[in-house]
Structure 1
Amino acid sequence: MPRTELPSRDGANGRTPLNFAAVALIASALTLAAFPAAAAPSSPRANDAAVALAGSVSGTVTLSDGRPLDGGSVGVLDKSGQYLQHATVAADGSYRFNALAPGTYSLHFERGQREAEYADYVPVYWGGGYEKPSYFDLGSGQRRTGMNAVLGLGATVSGRVSLDASAVLGSSMTQLLSADGISAPNTVTSESDGSFTIRGVPPGRWTIEFRGSSADGEPYVPEYWGDRPYRSQARYLDLTAGAVLTKLNAQLSRGGSVSGRLSGPDGAPVANAEVHLQSAETPSTGVREQEATTGATTDESGRYTVRGIAPGNWRLFFYAPAGSGLRDEWWSDRPWGQYDAIRILPRASLTRKDATLTYESKSHPWGEVSRLQGVDRYATAVAVSASQFAPGAPVAYLASGTSFPDALAAAPVAAATGGPILLSPSDRLPPAVADELRRLQPKRIVILGGGGAIEPAVERALARLTTGSVTRIGGADRYETAAALSRTRFAPGVPVAYLTSGSKFPDALSAAPQAALGDAPILLAPGNDSLPAAVVAELKRLRPEVVHIIGGGVVGPRAHAQLDALVAGDTIVHSGPDRYATSAMLSDWFDYGVSVAYVANGTDFPDALAGGPVAGIGSGPVLLTERDRLPPKVAEALRQLRPDRIVILGGPGAVSAKVAARLRSLSG
C-alpha cells in the first residue's frame, strides 16, 4: 500500500484550532504584565527608561468609498499570530497603539462593533492582504505613523440549500473556500428554510461548501459548487469587487451509510469507541487522501452507524476508548497504518463492518490449537463449513475436490455472500456433503466450473437439496471462470483487486482471507508475459485503484505494463522465496492478537480451499505448512501474530501430529 500520513486523534494535522478571541484576551493580559511601561515604576528614572523603550503605531482606516471605518477594530499581532492588543477606530478613522515593546508585529483591520453596517467590506492585514499577515519591525522607542489601511468592497453570493426526495431540512451551513481550503472572511446570514447570503467575500476564485441535515438529525452528503461531493472535484467562481451572484442553490443527497459492531477479545461490546471514515486517495477521480472525514461513536451494545457518506473509496478505522487497554485498529482487523479501502455506492448501506479489538499488551494467553478434519477432503470441507455457517445460509458453493482452478477465485465471493465452499468428486455427491447441505438448507446452490468439473448427475442431486436455484459459474478456462465469479459480486470502481497464479494454487489460497476481508476480487494469470483477454476485460470493467500481485512469476514485464495501463493507482507485488514465506508475508497484514489463524498443507489444495471464506469471515490468515515440518518463517509469523486460536485444516495426513505439537509449543 502507498505510505500515508496517519491521522491524529486531535484532527488531520494534530492541532486544535485556536479560539482567537480567547487568545487575544489572554495575550493582552500577558502583554500588560510583561511590559515595564504598564507596571508601577520603582523610581522616576526607571519610569523614564521604560517610556523611552516603548514604541507606538498609528494610522487611519477607511473604506474604499473614502468613508472612515468609524467604530471598526484594529488588532496587533505578534510573529506567532497571537493578538496582543485591540483598539477601536475613532470617528475620523484614526487609531493608535502606545507602549509597544520592541519587536515584530502585524496589524489586522476589522469591521469591529459595526459588523452589520460594514458587512460588504473585506477585513485586511497591514499590507493589504486578507489571508496572511505581513509584518513590520518596531524599534526601541520608535513611533511608526502612517500605518494606514483601506477595506475594499467584497462580493455577495446568495442561494438556498435543500435536501433531495422532498426531505425536510433541519439545519444547514454554507461557507466559501479557496483552492487551498481556506475559509473566506465574510458575513453569513442563514435562514431556517436553507436560504443564505454571504457578504464581504474577497475578490478571487472561490468554491461554495454546502452542508445540511434533515429535521430528524440525519446528515446528508456535503456538496461543493458544481454538484461535487469532494472539494478536489469542485468548480470555482471568479468573484470581483462588488459582484452580486444569486440563485447559487444546492440540493444535498442522502448518501450511503456504514454500520457494524465493535467487540473486545472476549466478545463483549466496546462502547464509546470512536469510528472514523476518511476518503482514500483515488487517482481516477482525483479524490485526495483524508480530504473528507466523518464518523460516529459506538453505543452501549458496541454498535455504530455512519450516515451521509459520499460515494467513493473510504478508509475505516476505530479508536478504542481511553483506558480500555484495547488497541486502535483499521478496517478490517488490520494493524495501525494499514487498511483495506471500502467502496461506498450512492445511497447504499454497508452493514456488518464489525471489528474485534485486541489487547495492546502481548502478555495475554494465546495459541490454543485445534483441528477441523474429516475422514477425507470432502468431510474436512464439511467440518470447516459446520464451524462457521448456520442453517438457512443464503448460498452454498460446490467445487471439484480433485482440481483446484475453478474455485481459486471463489473465497471472497463466498465470504461476501455468506456461504461455504464444499467439495465433491466430479461424478457423485458424497453423503457427508449431502448431509451438510440438508443441515444448511441454502437458499441457492452455485456450482463452480463446467460439466467436466461437476457432472450433470451431481447437479440433479443438488436440486433436491435446496428450495432455490442451482446454477453454474464457469468459463472456457480457469481465467474466464475467475472473471465470471468477479462479475457476479463486484461493481466497477472497486478499491482493490488481487492477481495471482492460475497454474499454481498456494499463493491464491494464502491471499483468500485478505481478499475476502477487503471485499476484493481474485483474478488469475497464467504466469507468462501476457494477460488473458478475459482478465483484461474484467480489469477494464472493474477499474480498480490498486492491484496486489500475489506470488512471484505471476506476470512478466509486458504483462506488468498491461496492468499499469489498466490500473489508476499502484500495482504491488507480494512474494517470498517460497509458498510458505509468501503466506507468512501476507499474514503481516493482520495485527497481533487476532482471534484465529488457520494452518493448512501447502502441497495440496482442498483443505485451504474450503478454509478461505471461513478465514475471511473470521478475520484470520491462512498460513501454509509442510506435512511434517513447520517452516521457520511460518513459526515466526505466528509468534508475531499471537492468535487466540490456531486451527489446523485437515487431519494428520495433511498436517502431522508433529507439526501440531510444534504449533502448541510456540506460545510456551
Structure 2
Amino acid sequence: MTLLTTASSRGRGLGPRLRLAVFAALLALAAACVAPFTAGQPAAAADTYSISGTVSGAPSGGFPPIIQVTNTATGISSWAGAQSDGTFTVSSLPPANYTVLATVQGTTSTPTYGGYYGGASADKATPVAVTNADVPGIDIAVTAGVKIAGTVSSATTPAPLANTILHAYRWSGSSYDEVAFSTGWSNYTIGDYQYLPAGQYTVGFTGTWYGTRITNYPYCDQYWNGQPTLAKAGSFTLAAGEKKTGVDATLSTACAPVQRDAGADRFGTSATISAANYSPGVDVAYIANGMNFPDALSGAPVAGSKGGPVLLSQAGALSASVSAELTRLKPKKIVVLGGAGAISAALQTRLATYTTGTVERYAGTDRFDTSATISAKTFAAGVPVAYVANGMNFPDALSGAPAAGAQDGPVLLSQAGALSASVSTELKRLKPQKIVVLGGVGAITSALEAKLAGYTTGSVVRYAGTDRFATSATISAKSFAAGVPVAYIANGMNFPDALSGAPVAGSQGGPVLLTQASALSSSVAAELTRLKPKKIVVLGGTGAVSSALEKSLQAYLGN
C-alpha cells in the first residue's frame, strides 16, 4: 500500500536528522497499522499497477523496511512500508520505468541498511518497467550502509560551526554524485539516518542549501582535505558498515574569488586548467596542437558540451605536464583534433596507453573541413544554434566557443567571403535553428551573412564589436545573464591559454573575455560590471595577464 507520494524526498521545516527520524517512525507506524488490511484493499484504478517483492538481509528487531519507488522520467517518488516478513506492495503506479530502493532505518550506533533492485547503489540499480500489468518478484537484498563523521570549525572559531552544509559525494565510476547532505549543527555525522552504500567518497563543506547560497554565510566552500573544488578533492573508500571519522574541515573567510590557472608554458597551462576542473574518469579528453589554433578552436565547444578538457601538445610528443595530467584523468576515450601534421600518427598510437577506451581522430583536409568533421562527429541535426567564424584568425571563434559549448552548438570555420564545400554540406545537414556570425564584416562579409540564411530554419544574427576585445564583450552580453558563476579572462593577442579555458567556461556557463596584458578595454570592463560574476579566473601566467590587472579584477565580483 502506498503511504505517500512526493516530488521530492527532502522536507524544509525540520533539520535533516530530526526530519528523517520522524518520517521513518511515521512510516513504520503506518506500515504496522495498515499491514493487516492490505490483503483486502480495493484494486487500483485500471490505468495504474503495482510493484511487489520481498526485502531480505535486514537486521532483526529494528524498523521495518521502507520502500521508495521513483519514476525515472519525472523524479516523483512513492513510498510504502514493508510488512514484518519483508514483503511489500507499492500500488497506484502509472506505466513508467521505476527505480526501487529499500532502506532500514538505523540509529546513531547502528548502520542504516539499504539496497536497490539490481544492486547496492543507485548506479547499479535496474529499472523496473511497469507497462500494463502488476510487477511482482522485485526482491531486494539490503546491506549495511556507511557513515562519515567529523568536525567543522574555522581558524577564528575553533568550536563546531552551525549552518555549514555537508555534502557527501560518491564516485559512480565516471563522476562524483551527491548522495546525501546534512547540516553541521555541531560535530556532524552523515549516514545515521541516511543510507550511504559502500564505495569511494569525498565531502564538501559549503554554504549552499538546495542550490541557494545561505544569506550572509561567511566562509569559503571547501572539499575534503582542504581543497577549493570538487575536482581537486581527496577521497576515501568505505566498506559496508564502516564509519569514517576525522573528516574535518577548518574553513576560512579569505576566499580567492579571483584565481589564476597557469603553468610554465602553454602546455603546462592546459594541464593546470584541466586539473583544476576535471575529475579522474572523464568521458573524453581532446588533444590538439598547441602551436596553431584552428583544430582546438573547433574542438573547444565540443569539449565544453561533452564535459572534457582540451589538452595542448606538440605534433610529435606530449609535454611532461600533459602526460601527467592524462595519467591522472584516465579518460574513457581520447579524441585527437586535426590531421597527422597537427598530431602525428605515432603520438596518436602512444595516447592509447592513457585511456581505458579508444583513441579517435577527428580531421579533414584543411581547417575548414576539420571543423565540419568535428561538428558532424558530435552534433545531431536540428541543433539550436551554429556559430560561423573566420578560420584564418582566432579571437572571434575563441570568444564564441564558450557560448557554443553552453548551448550545444558547433563553431564552423570559414573564409571571409565564402564557405568551403564541406562546411556548406555540414550546415545543410545540421539545419540549425539559428546561425550566429562571430565578428565584424572584415571577418565574415555581409554577403556571406546573407547567404547563411539559406541554411537555417530561423534567423542569422551577428555578434561583433569594434575590435577583438569589444567582440568578446558583445558575445558575452548576448549569451550570458548577469550573475554568472564564473568569468574567464585571457590574453586576446595570443590563443593558447584561452583555447584550453574555453571548454571549461562553456561547461560552467561563463564567458571568456579577452584583454591585453595589463589593462581591460572599456567594453570588457563594462561587461564585467554587468555580469557581476561570482568568481573570475585568469588564464595563463603574468606575462599573459599581469598581476596588477589580476588584482584589479576584484572590483568586478558580484556577491
TM-score (norm 1): 0.46
Distance change >3 Å, CA 497–CA 532, structure 1 → 2: same
Deviations 1:24-74 (A, max 9, x none): xxxxxxxxxxxxxxxxxxxxxxxxxxxxxxxxxxxxxxxxxxxxxxxxxxx
Deviations 1:185-213 (A, max 9, x none): xxxxxxxxxxxxxxxxxxxxxxxxxxxxx
The structure number with the bigger radius of gyration is: 1
SS in 2 for 1:414: helix
- Matches of 1:466 and 1:631, distance apart in 2: 42
DSSP-derived class of the 2:494 partner:
coil
- Which residue number in structure 2 is paired with residue 495 of structure 1? 384
Q: Establish whether residue 542 from structure 1 lines up as the match of residue 434 from structure 2.
A: no
Q: Determine the structure 2 residue equivalent to 1:40.
A: none
Q: What's the counterpart of residue 308 of structure 2?
A: 419
1:413 Cα deviation (Å)? 1.3
Counterpart Cα distance in 2 of 1:369 and 1:421:
22
Say which SS state the counterpart of residue 481 (structure 1) adopts.
helix
Work out the CA distance in 1 between the residues paired with 2:423 and 2:95.
41
Alpha-carbon shift at residue 469 of structure 1 (Å): 1.6
In the alignment, the residues of structure 2 paired with residue 398 and residue 450 of structure 1 have an alpha-carbon distance, to the nearest angstrom, of: 11
Write the distance in 2 (CA, Å) between the matches of 1:475 and 1:458: 18
Distance 1:322 1:526 in 2: 45
Q: CA deviation at 1:321?
A: 11
The alpha-carbon deviation at position 268 of structure 1 amounts to: 9.2
Match of 2:404 in 1: 515
**What is the correspondence of 1:301-312 to structure 2 with a 5 Å cutoff?**
none
Query: Where do 1:446-461 residues align within 5 Å?
Result: 446-461=335-350
Q: Is the 8 A contact 1:367 1:646 kept in 2?
A: no
**CA 1:430–1:219 in 2, change beyond 3 Å: closer, same or farther?**
same
Q: Distance in 1 between matches of 2:47 and 2:316?
A: 62
Counterpart of 1:397 in structure 2 is: 286
1:525 maps to 2:402: no
Partner of 1:477: 366
Deviation of the 1:219 alpha carbon: 8.4
Of 77, 88, 93, the match for 1:216 = 93
Secondary structure in 2 matching 1:393: coil
- Matched position secondary structure for 2:416: coil
Please give the per-residue CA displacement for 1:615-657, whole angstroms capped at 9, x wherever unaligned: 1111111110001221121112111111111100000011111
The superposition leaves residues 384-428 of structure 1 with CA deviations (integer Å, 9 ceiling, x where unpaired) of: 001111111111110001000111111221122221100011122
Is the 2:533–2:556 Cα contact (8 Å) retained in structure 1?
no
Contact preservation (8 Å) 1:580, 1:633: yes
Displacement after TM superposition at 1:664 (Å): 2.7
SS at match of 1:422: strand
Letter in 2 for 1:645: K
The residue type paired with residue 638 of structure 1 is L
Deviations 1:303-352 (A, max 9, x none): xxxxxxxxxxxxxxxxx999999xxxxxxxxxxxxxxxxxxxxxxxxxxx
**Does the aligned pair in 2 maintain the 1:531–1:562 contact within 8 Å?**
no
* Matched position secondary structure for 1:435: helix
Distance in 1 between the 2:388 and 2:48 partners? 47
Residues 290 and 496 of structure 2 are in contact (CA less than 8 Å); yes or no, is this contact kept in structure 1?
Answer: yes
Distance 1:267 1:519 in 2: 32
Q: Secondary structure at the match of 1:409?
A: helix
1:667–1:413 Cα change, 3 Å: closer
Determine if contact 1:600/1:649 at 8 Å carries over to the other structure: yes
Which position in structure 2 is the counterpart of 1:385? 274
- For residues 110-164 of structure 1, the C-alpha deviation after alignment (integer angstroms, 9 at most, x for no partner) is xxxxxxxxxxxxxxxxxxxxxxxxxxxxxxxxxxxxxxxxxxxxxxxxxxxxxxx
Matched residues, percent identical?
Answer: 45
CA distance in 1, matches of 2:349, 2:256: 43
Q: Is the 8 A contact 2:337 2:361 kept in 1?
A: yes
1:627 pairs, out of 514, 517, 525, with 517
Distance 2:428 2:480 in 1: 30
Work out whether residues 396 and 444 of structure 1, in 8 Å CA contact, stay in contact via their aligned partners in 2: yes
SS in 1 for 2:518: coil
AA aligned opposite 2:433: E
Matches within 5 A, 1:116-265: 169-170=47-48, 216-217=93-94
How do 1:280-429 and structure 2 match up within 5 A?
368-429=257-318
Alpha carbons of 1:666 and 1:565: their partners in 2 closer, same or farther (altered >3 Å)? closer
Paired with 2:213 and 2:486, the residues of 1 have a C-alpha distance of: 25
| Worse-superposed segment, 567-576 or 547-556 | 547-556
Separation (CA, whole Å) in 2 of partners of 1:321 and 1:472: 39
Query: Residue 408 of structure 1: SS of its match in structure 2?
Result: helix
* 1:667–1:620 Cα change, 3 Å: closer
By how many angstroms is 1:441 displaced?
A: 0.6
Instruction: Give how far 1:218 is off.
Output: 6.0
**After the TM superposition, which residues 274-285 of structure 1 pair with which residues of structure 2 at under 5 Å, given as runs?**
none
Does the aligned pair in 1 maintain the 2:535–2:557 contact within 8 Å? no
Distance 2:211 2:393 in 1: 44
SS of residue in 1 equivalent to 2:551:
helix
Question: Residues 268 and 485 of structure 1: is their aligned pair in 2 closer, same or farther, counting only changes over 3 Å?
Answer: farther
Q: Which of the pair is proportionally richer in helix?
A: 2
Inter-partner Cα distance in structure 2 for 1:546 and 1:512? 16
Aligned residue for 1:397, secondary structure, equals strand
Q: Say whether the 8 Å CA contact 2:534–2:557 is kept in structure 1.
A: no
Change (3 A) 1:321 1:468: closer
Distance 1:449 1:267, change over 3 A: farther
The amino acid of 1:400's aligned partner reads N
Kept after mapping to 1: 8 A contact 2:351/2:359: yes
* Residue 441 of structure 1: aligned partner: 330
Q: C-alpha offsets along residues 428-474 of structure 1, whole Å, 9 cap, x if unaligned?
A: 21111111110001112111011111112322321222232222111
- TM-score normalized with structure 2 length: 0.55
Aligned CA distance change for structure 1 residues 481 and 534 (closer, same or farther; 3 Å): same
Residue pair 1:548, 1:574 contacting (<8 A) in 2 also:
yes
Q: Kindly state the Cα deviation for residue 555 of structure 1 after the two structures are TM-superposed.
A: 2.9
Partner residue in 2 for 1:463: 352
Give the 5 Å matches for 1:584-623.
Answer: 584-588=473-477, 589-623=479-513
Matched to 1:655, the amino acid is V
Amino acid corresponding to residue 641 of structure 1 in structure 2: L
Report the equivalent of 1:47. Answer: none
Which residue of structure 2 aligns with residue 240 of structure 1? none
Give runs of aligned pairs for residues 641-652 of structure 1, distance below 5 A: 641-652=531-542
Which amino acid is 2:364 matched to?
G
- Per-residue CA deviation, residues 579-599 of structure 1 (Å, 9 max, x unaligned), is 111111122232222211100
Q: Deviations over 1:204-230 (max 9, x none)?
A: xxxxxxxxxx9624689xxxxxxxxxx
Q: 1:428 to 1:667 in 2, by over 3 A?
A: closer
Letter in 2 for 1:661: K
List alignment gaps of at least 5 residues for structure 2: 1-45, 50-90, 98-163, 168-179, 182-209, 216-253
Any conservation in 2 of the 1:443–1:468 contact (CA below 8 Å)?
yes
1: CA distance, partners of 2:338 / 2:482: 37
CA-to-aligned-CA distance 1:255-274 (integer Å, 9 cap, x gap) = xxxxxxxxxxx9999xxxxx
Aligned partner of residue 652 in structure 1, secondary structure? coil
Any idea what the Cα deviations from partners look like across 1:78-99, whole Å, max 9, x if unmatched?
A: xxxxxxxxxxxxxxxxxxxxxx
Partners of 1:517 and 1:268 lie apart in 2 by 29
TM-superposed deviation, 1:504? 1.2
| Structure 1: runs of 5 or more not aligned | 1-167, 172-213, 221-265, 270-299, 302-319, 326-364
Equivalences for residues 574-585 of structure 1 within 5 A: 574-585=463-474
Contact 2:437 2:449 in 1 (8 A): no
